[in-house]
């Protein structure tokens, strides 16, 4: 029987299978950042051990950095100490750091691909659940905890039980105004926030093949929001074209050799998945979430479920809790509802194509006067490209400020927060209670839907603007 893409890469990286236990899996690339690494560094030091393969680690500061005045010392003492600790640890242990002020600094899941570090067939981990992003290149990439970061420091390996495999096929053509963020929000709304727990997901089908690498990254990025260990897409010409010529991409004969190997990375026709789901691209509308987990999403034109539609008592209670937090009513529609904030950024949607999409909508127009914005590029490189293409002028003319690279209001660790009780249309990945600040009400959507709200001050079907 043939193998799935996942199995091909997994099998090649198993150093040892522990009897009735996890596999010891070799890790090719390890990304670290300031928040989930300090205790792993101190752990390894306490053991008197050394980093086993420091040259396979890349560090950046992203979660806890300001997005204005990065040239100045960080004001918050704890944040500064954490970022400084990363600098000290990287220096001490010989780890490459693209820290604040470095031309390659940015959100870890934006810089890995853009620098050509992320490549097909690799195993990639990072102490961050959105590491699944890198799976867009046909790699096995997943988030890990700090104890596991320490494991990789110590041995370049990790203990993992082999997950089951799921394939989600999306075939057909997307409707006008529908982008990759809508695809993944639709999938999660269909299968729930826990629907893929225990699985590694491969996304396939003609609609996926037609997507750019950046759009594929958005999909793989949110795999964790349905509980999946990771998500992946088989590499193809789109992938190879994206990687070629990037800073750390293979060159010359090395490129030819690797390219030949990458072309073998696909699921065999007779491979078996534990679960297979088929979705028609035509069924997907611009999506928005209304609740407090990413599975609580619907078409921007849809109506919220009624209370009576829940039969299970705990589920009903949870739905009511979410509605109370969000200040919404069962059965209502969201279209036309005023919002106060728009956040464009995060490892989900902060790449150059996202900024191009937004710019295409707001060009020559003014933002709604009541909207407050946090517009945050994913990396210094993205920020540079925004300027190179003159997009910064379009944003400035619309009355919108572009900030500096970082995770920002996606998780509200720095000062970029949404005020309590206010709504925020956010291109990020999580709408959990308090995620964007205590009491903040997050509505996840695509960059297009966010751009529409930027102009109108309310939840808008982007198709009403496009048409």
Partner 1 sequence: MQSLQKITSRFIPLRIENVDTDQIIPARFLKATTKDGFGKNLFRDWRYENDDETKPKADFVLNQQQYSGEILVAAKNFGCGSSREHAAWSIQDYGFKVVVSSFFADIFKNNALNNGVLPVTVTDAFLQQIFAQGAEDTLTVDLEAQTITIDATGAQAQFDINSYKKTCMLNGYDDIDYLLNMKPEIEAYEKANQW
Shortest Å distance, C-beta 236 to partner 1 = 21
Using CB under 8 A as the binding rule, the residues of this chain from 295 to 324 that contact partner 1 are 295, 314-315, 317-318, 321
Shortest Å distance, C-beta 429 to partner 1 = 9
Shortest Å distance, C-beta 158 to partner 1 = 8
Using CB under 8 A as the binding rule, the residues of this chain from 169 to 228 that contact partner 1 are 193-194, 197-198, 224, 227
Shortest Å distance, C-beta 435 to partner 1 = 5
Task: Identify whether the C-beta of residue 281 lies closer than 8 Å to the C-beta of residue 172.
Answer: yes
SS (H, E, C) the chain: CCCCHHHHHHHHHEEEECCCCCEEEECCEEEEECCCCHHHHHHHHHCCCCCCCHHHEEEECCCCCCCCCCCCCCCCHHHHHHHHHHHHHHHHHCCEEECCCCCCCECHHHHHHHCCCCCCCCEEEECCHHHHHHHHHCCEEEECCHHHHHHHHHHCEEEECCCEEEEEEEECCCCCCCCHHHHHHHHHHHHCCCCCCCEEEEEECHHHHCCCHHHHHHHHHHHHHHCCCEEECCCCHHHHHHHCCCCCCCCHHHHHHHHHHHCCCCCCCCCCCCEEEEEEHHHCCCEEECCCCCCCEEECCCECCCHHHCCCHHHHHHHHHHHHHHCCCCCCECCCCECCEEEECCCCCCCHHHHHHHHHHHCCCCCCCCCEEEECCCEHHHHHHHHHCCHHHHHHHCCCCECCCCCHHHCCCCCCCCCCCCEEEECCCCCCCCCCCCCCEEEECCHHHHHHHHHHCECCCHHHHHC
Shortest Å distance, C-beta 174 to partner 1 = 28
Task: Identify whether the C-beta of residue 419 lies closer than 8 Å to the C-beta of residue 212.
Answer: no
CB environment 188-215: b (16+ within 10 A), e (fewer): bbbbebebbeebbbbbbbebbbebebbb
Can residue 229 be called a binding residue for partner 1 (CB under 8 A)? yes
**Which residue in 7, 43, 45, 236 binds partner 1 (CB under 8 A)?**
43
Shortest Å distance, C-beta 26 to partner 1 = 6
Cβ nearer to partner 1, comparing 43 with 172:
43
Can residue 22 be called a binding residue for partner 1 (CB under 8 A)? yes
Shortest Å distance, C-beta 21 to partner 1 = 3
Can residue 151 be called a binding residue for partner 1 (CB under 8 A)? yes
Using CB under 8 A as the binding rule, the residues of this chain from 59 to 88 that contact partner 1 are 63-64, 76, 78-79, 81-82, 85
Shortest Å distance, C-beta 303 to partner 1 = 22
Using CB under 8 A as the binding rule, the residues of this chain from 92 to 131 that contact partner 1 are 127-129
Using CB under 8 A as the binding rule, the residues of this chain from 324 to 363 that contact partner 1 are none
Cβ nearer to partner 1, comparing 197 with 212:
197
Cβ nearer to partner 1, comparing 66 with 227:
227
The region of 10-18, 178-186, 345-353, 391-399 touching partner 1 under the rule CB under 8 A is 10-18
The footprint of partner 1 on this chain (CB under 8 A) covers a number of residues equal to 71
Shortest Å distance, C-beta 260 to partner 1 = 11
Using CB under 8 A as the binding rule, the residues of this chain from 268 to 297 that contact partner 1 are 293, 295
Can residue 155 be called a binding residue for partner 1 (CB under 8 A)? yes
Cβ nearer to partner 1, comparing 129 with 341:
129
Can residue 11 be called a binding residue for partner 1 (CB under 8 A)? no
Cβ nearer to partner 1, comparing 107 with 391:
107
Can residue 38 be called a binding residue for partner 1 (CB under 8 A)? yes
Cβ nearer to partner 1, comparing 26 with 240:
26
Using CB under 8 A as the binding rule, the residues of this chain from 126 to 145 that contact partner 1 are 127-129, 143-145
Task: Identify whether the C-beta of residue 146 lies closer than 8 Å to the C-beta of residue 40.
Answer: yes
Using CB under 8 A as the binding rule, the residues of this chain from 387 to 446 that contact partner 1 are 411-413, 430, 432-435, 438
């Amino acid at each position: 029987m043939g193998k799935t893409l996942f199995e091909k890469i997994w099998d090649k990286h198993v150093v040892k299978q522990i009897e009735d236990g996890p596999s010891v899996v070799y890790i090719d690339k390890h990304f670290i950042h300031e928040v989930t690494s300090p205790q792993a560094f101190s752990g390894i030091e306490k053991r008197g051990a050394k980093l086993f393969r420091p040259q396979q680690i890349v560090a950046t500061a992203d979660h806890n950095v300001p997005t204005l005045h990065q040239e100045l010392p960080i004001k918050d003492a704890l944040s500064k100490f954490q970022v400084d600790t990363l600098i000290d640890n990287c220096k001490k242990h010989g780890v490459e750091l693209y820290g604040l002020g470095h031309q390659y600094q940015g959100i870890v899941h934006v810089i890995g691909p853009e620098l050509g570090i992320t490549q097909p067939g690799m195993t990639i981990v990072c102490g961050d659940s959105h590491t699944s992003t890198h799976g867009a290149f046909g790699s096995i990439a997943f988030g890990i905890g700090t104890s596991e970061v320490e494991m990789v420091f110590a041995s370049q390996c990790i203990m993992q039980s082999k997950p089951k495999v799921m394939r989600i096929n999306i075939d057909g053509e997307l409707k006008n105004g529908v982008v990759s963020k809508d695809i993944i929000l639709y999938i999660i709304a269909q299968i729930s926030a826990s629907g893929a727990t225990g699985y590694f997901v491969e996304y396939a089908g003609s609609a996926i093949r037609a997507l750019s690498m950046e759009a594929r990254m958005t999909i793989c990025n949110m795999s964790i929001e349905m509980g999946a260990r990771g998500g992946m897409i088989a590499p193809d010409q789109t992938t190879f074209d994206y990687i070629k010529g990037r800073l750390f991409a293979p060159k010359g004969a090395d490129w030819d050799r690797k390219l030949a190997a990458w072309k073998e990375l696909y699921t065999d026709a007779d491979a078996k998945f534990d679960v297979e789901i088929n979705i028609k691209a035509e069924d997907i509308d611009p999506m928005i979430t209304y609740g407090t987990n990413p599975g609580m999403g619907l078409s921007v034109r849809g109506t919220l479920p009624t209370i009576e539609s829940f039969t299970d008592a705990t589920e009903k209670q949870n739905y009511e809790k979410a509605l109370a937090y969000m200040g919404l009513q069962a059965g209502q529609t969201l279209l036309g509802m005023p919002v106060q904030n728009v956040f464009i950024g995060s490892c989900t949607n902060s790449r150059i194509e996202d900024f191009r999409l937004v710019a295409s909508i707001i060009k020559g127009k003014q933002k709604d006067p009541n909207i407050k914005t946090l517009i945050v590029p994913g990396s210094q490189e993205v920020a540079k490209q925004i300027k190179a293409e003159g997009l910064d002028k379009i944003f400035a003319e619309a009355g919108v400020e572009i900030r500096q690279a970082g995770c920002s209001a996606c998780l509200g660790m720095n000062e970029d927060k949404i005020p309590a009780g206010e709504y925020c249309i956010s291109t990020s990945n999580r709408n959990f209670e308090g995620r964007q600040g205590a009491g903040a009400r997050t509505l996840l959507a695509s960059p297009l839907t966010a751009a529409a709200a930027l102009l109108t001050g309310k939840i808008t079907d982007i198709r009403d603007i496009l048409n």
